[in-house]
Structure 1
């Protein structure tokens, strides 16, 4: 069995009998408490770990030799590297265009494509490669009581003649979906990021292949890191990138509650250092990109693909092995600031380039570098003021801009959240009720932004306990 460079779906194996298997909420398996603490702090499991000591995930770019049903040997088949060629930006854009076009045509042939659209570059580049096509079913979504994000998808679909649906993510959608979602993602990711399940009934019948742009923003950008950092400095950069707000505090609290030996922070550093040492790249930006692609993409991004995969096959052009190999040969100076994707869209679909880029609205791909100029300062101020004034004129108390706000805030959400945090017996016996109560109070009374992640992770662990106990 050969795993892809970036696996779009986890394959599990039992270390006791060396056999590939399905994930199970197994009461007989010992819990890997250290890995669960790391998971609570970062939002994804590190390396090949899971909730259980005896259950691992197949590693990326690894060949597994089988004897009957058992794994007899595993060997790394490819490693991330940085081997930049002396090519111009123009040549890099043209090579990307050729590769992107070819693999897309191969993968979507004979399929009715479903294309999620946003105001960013990844889905816009996908719209560009599809060309004008009235058989593509495109959609975008925005929060109820949130910012009008659908306008970007609508504009892109209009230029390309796609079929288009503008969807709404309703308040309190999570609670009628949460147990289904827990079974789909095996509680290997928290629930605040998979908002696509809120509209599953609407996009499930649009076509037969999801065309998804995940990981383009990582491959086709630099990591905004200074070159020449030593190992300790690189480790500190990684910690800042992967630790969620409040995550370190939650990880430490669980570590202490379970009586684990040593210091949580030092143990996390040791684990990251172990994973980082396997990446033999001198360039700091390329090394961190490789780290994220090896460990973050398959254990967080891929886990969150489960809702799409439940309905249809998925095609992720930025996950393709050829795309990863291509990236390893492109100079960092060409990857920085999304230059290749911007150049590609401007080259093949200039009409799409003229649609505002959400991050720089009202600027587009042709003039976004002027966004922070004095000319656009009044426009930026007026846009933010108008957004909040319009919201209040509609009689809405708060502008929803973040996933957790639509899931945790408001009376109905609070009632459901407290039910899962405080009324699930296996959870209360595993994680002290006073620990859960302390983090919930901090979320409600001190800083909801900072403590939204700990609350979401405690909710995830509660669902894990519930499903493991079979209740």
Structure 2
């Protein structure tokens, strides 16, 4: 017998065997198709599971999972403390975590125009570790690197700028499938485009994943215990995902309805979270599902170049969040206050989510104050269109638009007979939906079908 203790938010999936038929778990795959991640402990196979977060698990001599007990359960136990005290505690905890994780190593820090990496930048600017910051922008898209470069200059970090080129996926597809084991669709991890560049750098990655979930409201204002399931259901379903899941469910002749099955699974997970506060309960649900089964999956890409650290994943940060009043976490209050207090110069740089405003005036990101920016931004997109260069805003546009991308896509979807798993009639339907009906709505289904096709062709070699 051996024991495996999983972190509160695992950064790696721990696969184990269970006593069940060695069959494809088609119901689990339908959820994957609809949402982009596997739910709970599901995998592609009925006789294989992923160990749940925050548990102590017993594995027998043959590698079978025989027992699991929680060592941590999400809770909401807000202390009666002032916002100033919460800010002081966050400052001490976050900076301690960053220092411990970095040790004496060089730090590789991806910077965006948001708050999570900006918060890290503040913490690392206080340390003696050499820091190389970097950012990437889509070719013919918003110059995200411009904001990141300004932040690096304020912090005196070295800075590298990368451009994500169209069609990068195809030459890296097999390597990406090997890294993430097809547990995430392929168009999200744009860092795959610059993996070779990463390998030329030196240091340990410090990644800002999950800060935006911890330091914001978990549920929209007005969400109640009676509406939480429906609102979460709407959030987990990707655009076009329900149509794909229903089509697969029908194709595979599964009993009942997909929607009823998914809601039943989600309701069971919610019932296990013993939290009355709706916002905290939604955050816990996301941390038990999205984080380990979606966010963590593509961390393997970074790991292919260098080790990584995750300040927001730290067990101490998870425990801290459970003790902070929701009012202090909502609307990014703690992060904004931390940045403004510790580095006013960083706070004055544009916040991408509130362009063109910063952390001092982002409240003006509404009409009429933001109207001039919105007009200019719209003109920029139209000019790109006139020049025959579509303005790139989403990663799938780099992978699926254009003749060369289309050729590669067809080869991967249609070059082999995937029937009965993915018959050509189903593939044709969603491919034609993307090409002839609504590319935005069918981009997720198309990407999921590509992922499933690659997995199915390589399943016997996994």
TM-score, normalised with respect to structure 2: 0.95
Name the CA shift for 1:119/1:228 in 2 (closer, same or farther; >3 Å).
closer
| Offset of residue 41 of structure 1 | 0.5
CA contact 1:134–1:162 (8 Å) conserved in 2: no
Residues 123-272 of structure 1: matches in 2 within 5 Å?
A: 123-131=117-125, 135-226=130-221, 229-231=224-226, 233-272=227-266
The residue aligned with 1:22 is none
The residue aligned with 1:96 is 90
**Residue 405 (structure 2) pairs with residue 402 (structure 1):** no
**Residue 46 (structure 2) pairs with residue 53 (structure 1):** yes
The residue aligned with 1:105 is 99
Unaligned stretches of 5+ residues in structure 2: none
Residue 30 of structure 1 aligns to a residue whose secondary structure is coil
| Offset of residue 392 of structure 1 | 5.4
| Offset of residue 205 of structure 1 | 2.5
**Residue 68 (structure 2) pairs with residue 64 (structure 1):** no
Residue 159 of structure 2 aligns to a residue whose secondary structure is strand
Q: Which is worse superposed, 215-224 or 84-93? A: 84-93
CA contact 1:215–1:318 (8 Å) conserved in 2: yes
Name the CA shift for 1:470/1:76 in 2 (closer, same or farther; >3 Å).
closer
Name the CA shift for 1:341/1:208 in 2 (closer, same or farther; >3 Å).
same
The residue aligned with 1:75 is 69
Give, in whole Å, the separation in 2 of the partners of 1:72 and 1:239: 31
Give the alignment partner of residue 466 of structure 1, picking from 433, 447, 457.
457
The residue aligned with 2:403 is 411
Give the alignment partner of residue 302 of structure 1, picking from 280, 291, 296.
296
Residue 298 of structure 2 aligns to a residue whose secondary structure is helix
Give, in whole Å, the separation in 1 of the partners of 2:441 and 2:55: 37
| Offset of residue 408 of structure 1 | 0.4
Give, in whole Å, the separation in 2 of the partners of 1:210 and 1:124: 15
CA contact 1:400–1:406 (8 Å) conserved in 2: yes
- Matched length: 457
| Offset of residue 44 of structure 1 | 0.3
Give, in whole Å, the separation in 1 of the partners of 2:429 and 2:221: 38
The residue aligned with 1:114 is 108
Give, in whole Å, the separation in 2 of the partners of 1:34 and 1:376: 46
The residue aligned with 1:23 is none
The superposition leaves residues 195-250 of structure 1 with CA deviations (integer Å, 9 ceiling, x where unpaired) of: 1100011122222211000000000000342456234x211011111000011111
Residue 277 of structure 1 aligns to a residue whose secondary structure is helix
Give the alignment partner of residue 30 of structure 1, picking from 23, 26, 44.
23
The superposition leaves residues 2-25 of structure 1 with CA deviations (integer Å, 9 ceiling, x where unpaired) of: 1000000101001139xxxxxxxx
The superposition leaves residues 155-209 of structure 1 with CA deviations (integer Å, 9 ceiling, x where unpaired) of: 1111111111110101110000011101111111100101110001112222221
Residue 374 of structure 1 aligns to a residue whose secondary structure is coil
Residues 425-440 of structure 1: matches in 2 within 5 Å?
A: 425=417, 427-440=418-431
The superposition leaves residues 22-41 of structure 1 with CA deviations (integer Å, 9 ceiling, x where unpaired) of: xxxxxx93101110111101
CA contact 2:414–2:424 (8 Å) conserved in 1: yes
The superposition leaves residues 50-89 of structure 1 with CA deviations (integer Å, 9 ceiling, x where unpaired) of: 0000000011000123555655532111100011111222
Give the alignment partner of residue 35 of structure 2, picking from 33, 42, 57.
42
Give, in whole Å, the separation in 2 of the partners of 1:370 and 1:227: 24
Give the alignment partner of residue 439 of structure 2, picking from 448, 451, 468.
448
TM-score, normalised with respect to structure 1: 0.94
The residue aligned with 2:15 is 12
Give, in whole Å, the separation in 2 of the partners of 1:431 and 1:458: 8
CA contact 1:38–1:268 (8 Å) conserved in 2: yes
Q: Which is worse superposed, 270-279 or 164-173? A: 270-279
CA contact 1:41–1:251 (8 Å) conserved in 2: yes
Residue 334 of structure 2 aligns to a residue whose secondary structure is helix
CA contact 2:219–2:282 (8 Å) conserved in 1: no
CA contact 2:104–2:129 (8 Å) conserved in 1: no
Q: CA RMSD in A?
A: 1.8
Name the CA shift for 1:392/1:421 in 2 (closer, same or farther; >3 Å).
closer
Give, in whole Å, the separation in 2 of the partners of 1:174 and 1:375: 39
The superposition leaves residues 296-350 of structure 1 with CA deviations (integer Å, 9 ceiling, x where unpaired) of: 1000000021101222211101101000000011111111110000000111111
Give, in whole Å, the separation in 2 of the partners of 1:40 and 1:392: 32
Residue 327 of structure 2 aligns to a residue whose secondary structure is helix
Give, in whole Å, the separation in 1 of the partners of 2:288 and 2:325: 20
